[in-house]
Amino acid sequence: MRTATSVAGGFCAAILTLGALVAPAAAAPAAAPAPATPALANPALTTPALAEQEVTPDALSVVVTGDGALEWTKQAGPVAIQNFDSTGAAGTTTPLPTEAAEGQFPFTLGIDRDQAGALQQSADHQVVTLGGYNAPVGADANDATAPETLRVIARVDAAGNVDTSTTLAGAYSKRHIRGVVTADGQRYWTGGHGHDSAGAVRAGVLTIEQGGTTPVAVTTGGSVLNNTRVPVIHDGQLYVSSDRDGYHGINRVGAGLPTETAEMTLIAAAPNGSTVPHDFVFVGDHLYVAYTEGAPALVRYGFDGTTWVVEDQFPGQFWGLTGRVADDAVVLYATRGASQQNELVAIIDAPDAEPGAMASAPSEVLATAAPNTSFRGVDFAPGFVPGTGPAVITLTPTVTWNARVAGGVGNALSAVLGSTSNPVATGRISDPGADDAAPADGTEPADSLAADPADPADPATGLTVTATSADPSVVADENVSVELNADGSFALTAVPSGVGTTTITLTVTAADGRTADSPLQYAVSAPLADATASAHVGVADASAGYDVGDGHFLVADDDSNQIRLYGPTTGEPVAEFDFTGQMTHPTDRTFDLEAAARIGDTIYWVGSLGNSRSGNSWPHRDIVFATEVSGSGAATTLTFAGEATGFREALTAWDTSNAHGAGASAFQFERATTPGTSAEGPNSLNLEGATFAPDGTTFWLGFRSPLVPVAVDPANDPAGTLALVIAVDNIQAVIAEGAAIEISDYFTLDLGGRAIRDITETDDGNYLIAAGSADDSGNFAIFGWSGDPAEVPVQSKAPLALDGWSGSYETILSAASLQDDVVVRVLQDAGTVDIYGTGVEAQDLTRELMKFPSHDYVLDFAGAFAPVDGGTGGGDENGGGTGGGTGAAGGDGTGSGSSAAPGASRPGQLSQTGADGGQELLIAGLAGALVLLGAGALGAAARTARRTIPAPARRESTVALAHDLGA
């Protein structure tokens, strides 16, 4: 056996030699009760060569949240500093106090809160520090107000002495304290979300002396500066990570270590696609940053003499990060994954390698957190001074899980009890130490690193694989199957027996006895109450979509920038489409996609246009982009077809100038888009619906808020009751040609006090509206509407609900007509639903555990949209019509057609563009139709006629504003 080390010329890459073909794992005995301390990788395997070099492992400290007994929820739980060395061997554990004593405050963290608990070694290497809460175990620490629940700084030295005497008054109230750093343990700098605090402590970065109670603001001045993430000291200079506009990446804070208000300057911008930088470390001439959302990865930057430039990245979601130079390589230590039983890993990077090489850099799992506990921050242990020589890392069999969903972690699997189409986990198993493991005859192995790492298809070498479940009531061992192929790829399937969550541990054992355990989160939700329902995995906040045939549909969500294709049954995406690399619009934050409208083969995807719930004015949400659809069903593909921004500006100018004629600022868009104004409630700006008007050109924007009339004084004036629709005349030219945005008019719809959550056209030229409250109270219903702004929508009598799922209905996929008993497919945004009964909302889960439901809904309008049958009315040179609503061409005008191509008339439309360019409603055939239909059909025929109005009557004033794709 050998212990691998970095050597001159870089670390020897992991060898992907694989074990023999292994049948599905046999039934294993039930797992023993998990210990409260983390489970470990194998102890170090030393060789004579290393002994002669007197190389010692690195000493590491890791923050552990939870004690294994408390449930893994956001409740405040015990915190410990667990020491390991770089071989995975465990050292001492230092618990932080949960009770007050002699001037020391209790210290807890939310057990499942991933963005808390960053750990930093002091610049003088003598102590480690972190931030937490003076909250009792079991309390809701993160949402607690300060100073009632103080934010506390913990300092731990090499002897295990703990100090929690330093508190931060009212700082970080209702929000996270994320990290603490110090030069020598005598003064601290903190990072966190301070925008909800009051007074002098309303800041993102604070500083305070050891033992103090009154911090001083360092970065302050608005929602952007008041919300930072993890602070780091490097070469005597303070830096902090941020995900705020203008500072998204790593920032220098003032000069040196500021003790008063200082400016924050972005030095390393986030790359497109990766969002929310958290922990980071400077190593030699490079900077490594852990981005936790979007396309999560460890991103390496190099300094070009002027600025920090992205060089490469290692995929995965990492929360704690430290590292050092190791000969010609860099060794990084990181905590991977946000869930319970996440991992402490070592990664060896060769900065001089070719671009793209970092993605396959050798890595090793050093330790795995115990059930109901998580690893958070990591740094070198107090008292340990990192060197620059070889890094001692034990090589054991390696399990790599495939991330099957964009932004996923791989080692997570969701299921619905009783479903026959639950997802399957996949990955690859290898044994980097197989080349010189101890032979069976007991002779010494070679200590060279001579095996060829470039050949991942080496013959099997006798690895065995077993899988065990921690909770047989959720899934029994005998119902877990692992199929390992000769090339090392594997598939894990499970048949659940109950609702809940458990951990399936995959154990790989080499012929010489070296073993490695790799956990898989397994979560089972209850059977769906509706026989037509399916659960779709990888997205929780389904907010817009379109049917593409054979039960397949495209869906966008408000928590990522991808479009996903799903099939008709429970399961993960069939395909994913990411166009951020083709956009000039900022992509380092989500677009908050909330609406989609299709015309012909083009789908327009629309952001919410408003601020965030916390009042941040994010330009990312001000977007409409287009995709061209080809194929259908599972073969559907999308092609990027352009983008535009500037809609917020156009709406605000249209409103403040009274271009709509309803009075200047009637809709209060200027107020709604001001930084600090929340997107919540009926008086904000929040778009959730979009469709094309019957003319096939006018783009209708449907708003969740505001409701009309908009309150001038929201605190005292009553909220409006009418849903708002605004017309954009030229969306196709805006996207395709960069034309100015032309807003022509608006109208309102009476949805019983509800707002628009989705609006889609039916095949026969009518519209379906998913309506709900402007706030989060629900009150969802389906409405049918003719498309005539003068006509009141009709509510479907059938309730809109799915037992066990209390999310928001924001998508109707398609509908043939508004006739009673027509079946439509609806999607539910389940982001706030506790799917598994663990107290964790779906939007806070890892990607592979997120899901949303779809199910059938049967229309029931009590005959309000009954079909109109009748004879053909007479026509003349101005264009005749039929009782069914089909016009004919005549004179200088163009009659209606059935084409849905851009600019064409919609099915059932009666319109004409005359020689003078005006639009007229042609009803020449209506009288003949009424004679044949009889007086009883008058109402239905009138609805058909009204539906042919191409667009709301337009006022003379039109606002045209150029949009800037680079905004």
Transcribe 592-616 into DSSP letters: -EEEEEEETTEEEEEE--S--TT--
CA 78 – CA 271 distance, rounded (Å): 36
β strands within 74-158, DSSP E? 76-77, 79-85, 90-95, 109-110, 120-121, 127-133, 151-157
pLDDT of residue 839: 87
Q: Order of strands across the sheet with 575-577?
A: 542-549, 552-557, 563-566, 575-577
Q: What is the pLDDT of residues 207-253, one digit of tens each?
A: 999 999 999 999 999 889 999 999 999 999 999 999 998 999 999 99
Determine the pLDDT at residue 245. 87
375 pLDDT more than 80: yes
Question: What pLDDT is stored for residue 294 in this prediction?
Answer: 82
When pLDDT is averaged across residues 409-437 and rounded to a whole number, the result is 87
Give pLDDT, residue 295.
85
Q: What is the pLDDT of residue 626?
A: 98
Q: What is the pLDDT of residue 398?
A: 86
Q: Is the pLDDT reported for residue 663 higher than 80?
A: yes
- Mean pLDDT score of the chain: 83
The answer to whether residue 905 scores a pLDDT higher than 90 is: no
CA 98 remoteness from chain centre: 33
Tokens 């009141």 locate to 792
User: What Å distances lie between residue 491 and 103, 141, 944, CA to CA?
Assistant: 54, 39, 56
Show the CA angle centred on residue 519, arms to residues 462 and 456, nearest 5°. Answer: 40
In this predicted structure, what is the pLDDT of residue 437? 41
Residue 93, classified by CB atoms within 10 Å of its CB into exposed (0-12), middle (13-18) or buried (19+), is middle
Query: Mean pLDDT throughout 716-743?
Result: 96
Q: 3-class SS at 301? A: strand
Mean pLDDT check: name the lowest of 95-109, 172-186, 327-341, 390-404. Answer: 390-404
pLDDT at 963 over 90: no
Other beta carbons within 10 angstroms of residue 663's beta carbon come to 10
Q: Pick the closest to residue 274 from 244, 297, 250 (CA basis).
A: 297
Q: What is the pLDDT of residue 917?
A: 36
The pLDDT value given to residue 909: 31
650 and 741 Cβ atoms separated by less than 8 Å:
yes
Name the pLDDT band for 866 (thresholds 50, 70, 90). confident
CB 932 within 8 A of CB 620: no
Provide the CA 388 distance to its chain's centre, in angstroms.
38
Better-scored residue on pLDDT, 964 or 553: 553
With CA atoms as reference, report the closest residue to 611 among 588, 592, 594.
592
Q: What is the average per-residue pLDDT within 471-476?
A: 96
Q: Would you say residue 457 has pLDDT above 60?
A: no
Q: How far apart are CA 882 and CA 902, in angstroms?
A: 24
732 pLDDT above the threshold of 50: yes
What local confidence, expressed as pLDDT, does residue 748 receive?
Answer: 98
Average pLDDT over residues 560-581: 95
More confident residue, 26 or 835: 835
pLDDT of res. 54: 62
Closest CA to 772 of 755, 759, 749: 755
pLDDT of 189 > 60? The answer is yes
Q: For position 461, what pLDDT does the model report? A: 57
Query: Is 50 exceeded by the pLDDT of residue 451?
Result: no
Residue 655: its pLDDT value, please?
A: 97
804, pLDDT greater than 50: yes
| Residue 867 binned pLDDT confidence (cut-offs 50, 70, 90) | confident
Rounded Cα gap, residues 219 and 244, in angstroms: 13
- How far is C-alpha 715 from the geometric centre of its chain's CA atoms? 33
Residue 7 has pLDDT above 90, yes or no: no
Q: For residues 489-511, give the mean pLDDT.
A: 94
Q: Which residues pair with 156 in a beta bridge?
A: 128, 162
Strand segments, DSSP code E, in 510-592 are 515-525, 534-537, 542-549, 552-557, 563-566, 575-577
The residue-averaged pLDDT of 482-504 equals: 94
| Mean local confidence (pLDDT), 748-761 | 97
Task: Using alpha carbons only, give the angle 950, 954, 959 rounded to the nearest 5 degrees.
Answer: 125
Tell me what pLDDT residue 617 has.
Answer: 85
Give the per-residue pLDDT at 869: 59
pLDDT of residue 895: 32
Question: In angstroms, rounded to a whole number, what is the distance separating the alpha carbons of residues 720 and 712?
Answer: 11
Question: Quick one: what percent of the chain has pLDDT higher than 90?
Answer: 70
CA-to-CA distance for 685 and 702, rounded, in angstroms?
Answer: 11
Statement: residue 812 has pLDDT above 60: yes
Which of 52-66, 464-478, 665-679, 738-752 shows the lowest per-residue confidence on average (mean pLDDT)? 52-66
Task: Give the separation between CA 149 and CA 139, rounded to whole angstroms.
Answer: 10
Please state, in angstroms and rounded to a whole number, the distance separating the CA atoms of residues 858 and 824: 6
pLDDT at res. 559: 87
Give the DSSP H/E element, type plus range, for residue 735: helix 731-737
- Please choose, from the candidates 162, 165, 100, 103, the residue with its C-alpha nearest in 3D space to the C-alpha of residue 135: 100
Q: Which two tokens stand for residue 239?
A: 């830096």
Which pLDDT value is given to residue 441?
A: 33
Q: Which pLDDT score, from 0 to 100, does residue 632 have?
A: 97
Is the pLDDT at 657 greater than 70? The verdict is yes
Q: For 335-364, what is the mean pLDDT?
A: 93
Q: What is the DSSP letter of 631?
A: S
First-to-last C-alpha distance (Å) of the chain: 57
What local confidence, expressed as pLDDT, does residue 939 receive? 34
Mean pLDDT for the stretch of residues 123-147: 95
Q: Which of 397-401, 416-420, 961-965 has the lowest mean pLDDT?
A: 961-965
ω into 709 cis (within 30 of 0): yes
Residue 431: predicted pLDDT: 86
pLDDT band of residue 868 (cuts 50, 70, 90) is: low
Amino acid letter, 898? S
Give the pair of three-digit tokens for residue 606.
């629309």
pLDDT tops 50 at residue 882: no
Rounded CA-CA distance 625/645 in Å is 9
Mean pLDDT of the 838-844 span: 90
Reported as type and span, the H/E element at residue 276 is: strand 274-283
pTM: 0.71
- Does residue 29 surpass a pLDDT of 70? no
At residue 111, φ and ψ (nearest 5 deg) are: -60, -40
**What is the distance, to the nearest Å, from the Cα of residue 602 to the centroid of all Cα atoms in its chain?**
25
